[in-house]
Structure 1
Amino acid sequence: MLMNLIMLALPCVAYTYENIALHKNAWQLRPYRLYMWSASNAVDGFKTNFSAFGGQCTISANNQYEAVWRVDLGAVLGIHHITIYYRTGNHPWGPDNGFTTRFLGFSVYISNTTDKEDGVLCFKDDTFTRYTIPAVITLNCTHHGRYVIYYNNRTSSSIPPDYSIYAHNELCEFEVYGCPSPSYYGEDCSQSCPDQCLDSRCHIETGNCFGCKVGYQGPTCDQPCQKNTYGYGCSMVCGLCVNGEQCYHVNGTCHNGCEAGIYGSHCQMECPQGFYGRNCSNKCSEKCFIYKDCNIKTGVCFGGCAVGWKPPLCNEECDDGTFGTNCSNYCGHCHQGQSCDVESGACPNGCDSGYKGIHCNESCAHSFYGPNCRLRCSNTCINRTCDAEKGSCDMVQNEIGHKNTYNVTFQEITVIIVNKIFVSIHPN
């Protein structure tokens, strides 16, 4: 007879897990009216009498379309398997036993709240008939939870023919086997769950974590987030850490700061207008062509520099000898080699000898020489042409009108003329 009563949904292996439901608080929806069939009967440890009057079974009210019973394990614990002993009336179990139809269609949930909808479905009977359902059934439910909930209903409009008209829970014993501490696993519950398991919970057989703490991944949560990710489930993407470094796998911060042009605790924001460089610590030059508008990484001014300032950062005036937009122009021949104005290119003290104009880059016109070309060449110079810098004549006319190719200055000519006059006055 016993062989007809028991069906195991697990392999036939000896387990040393503890019945963590024993003597715990139990509750049922709409109990039968007499006190002797209370919800606690299903967790009292007695399973020798499966009749209504044996005092070992819980029975729900008649004529109900839903039946609910649950046990509170007192804490979120690791569960390995569940064994249910159903009411038989102490009669042979089988299709002729009237209680088989009441057992059909039941479900078992594991939840952290009293609401089954908040939990996970451990088992739902949708295959048994009154010929095949066992009176004692063991279910594999490797999960964590505080409440184990038995549920049955007859609310569907298409109930299978073997099912009873009303829903019942007639549990003579409901055993939940697992570890009494949520952070241990193994057949004797002696092994600690890995340190990085979320809430210190792991699979009661393998030790694999049900979830990882922030920043970890892998079956046993022993691997920090990689490939530029961080956070819960390594689902967050790191910002732009300097040199492409991996951010801190837990909170996403960058150990050595942000890449140039980026700032913020997670290096995910571009520099605001007017700033650039590592952690946006540098200011764009006020001498950018567009005021304080530069590349957030390099500081190079967009559109070049204001007049008189040297690219690419526009934070230095033009070098000596250059002026204008991006210092692209060269100064003329300023007096004594002085530098011109970096903006206008004008020479502050005029031009060097032989040159004229605002920028001192124009040679003296015909017959002029000297600083700013203000002096005229001597009349004795052939065609009044002289050296623009010194005023010396390339060719002069002698006293009889012949051309001499002497390179003489105006002063030298003056001396010659004076000597000629003196000789003519004092011939002896």
Structure 2
Amino acid sequence: MSGRNLAFKRNASQVSIHKDCFQNECKAKNAVDGITNEWFWNKCSLSSDEENPWWNVDLGIEAIIHNLHIVGFKDVKQTYQIEIKSSTGINNFHRVVTAAANVDTNINVIGRVVNLTREVKGRLHICEVYVYDDCQENMCGYDCKKPCHCRDATIWDKLSGNCSNGCTDEWEGSQCNIQAEETFDCASGRYGRNCMNRCNKNCKGDQRRFCSTTDGSCFGGCNDGWKGNLCDEACYEGYYGQNCSTKCSDYCHGGKGYCNKIDGNCKFGCMIGWTAPLCDQACSSGMYGHRCAYKCSQQCDKQECNNTDGRCTRGCIPGWTGEKCRKPCSSGMYGHRCAYKCSQQCDKQECNNTDGWCTRGCIPGWTGEKCRKRVYSFNLKYIIASV
């Protein structure tokens, strides 16, 4: 972690303040005062017992957020839902982390508002939040409001105003604040003033032929995973491919930020019920579960089931019950949804769970597959005597 902490003394808010806190204690601003008071509970931000309690900080500007460092109270384990939103409220980042005391998470997104939510009912206790970020391209100064013409400017360049890697085209001076004369023609593969710069290797195709000799822009666009006129900007988390225009699947294990920026393959596999490598297709019909390795129950109607947990989506074939249709009808019942009673004339009232045939035969005086036909007996002696 290095550079500016843009959360310092910015406008912070939280869902509520705990009832045991006095004036200036447990407030949201205590988590951005630059003081790590992880052993003094009332010097931190502390909410009441709430359902999904939240805390957030408005950085005041949109910036490129590289790293988030959260200091909790002592070694109390908490699960945070981290969200980073733009000035217009668009959610550019989402991640769930669980840790005791300190949380470090690396990020590379543009945002203005950092929101933390505890995903259970209880208190949210945060002692300090550090947001390490960088100004957007071409902007410098601690508040990122000063135009900047440094080439490949580091955070320290943007804070100091000095350009350690030289100036962008058409600018010169130690702080690159003097506009230079027009650039001139260069040999293929180079561009800029005095032809000091090489075309970016991420230009699509042969970069020596597809790069402007004046400003280095890539005529043929960028290789997958890169964007910008110079093809020097990697895709933000959650995007990949040509011009970073395709969203990673929501079903990548760990969230859509965990996909390869070139081809979109999910780095850590898929969530349950989805297939690799892009995790954008549910298990094929009849399969479910982790890596789609399990077959739906044969007793599912048409053998169709939910791709994640195997529950039969169309119900069960006759004779079976339960979410996964693995339980036969209870004794004395049969058929669709086990809704029919076995014939009272079945021996011990037991029958086949699917079609109701009496499995032990019939009680005396009855016959047939379901024992529904009465047997009539005749007295042979009486018939002979009467003849």
**Normalising to structure 1: TM-score of the pair?**
0.37
More strand by share: 2
Q: Which has the higher relative contact order, 1 or 2, with Cα contacts under 8 A spaced 6 or more apart? A: 1
Which structure has the larger Rg over C-alpha atoms?
Answer: 1
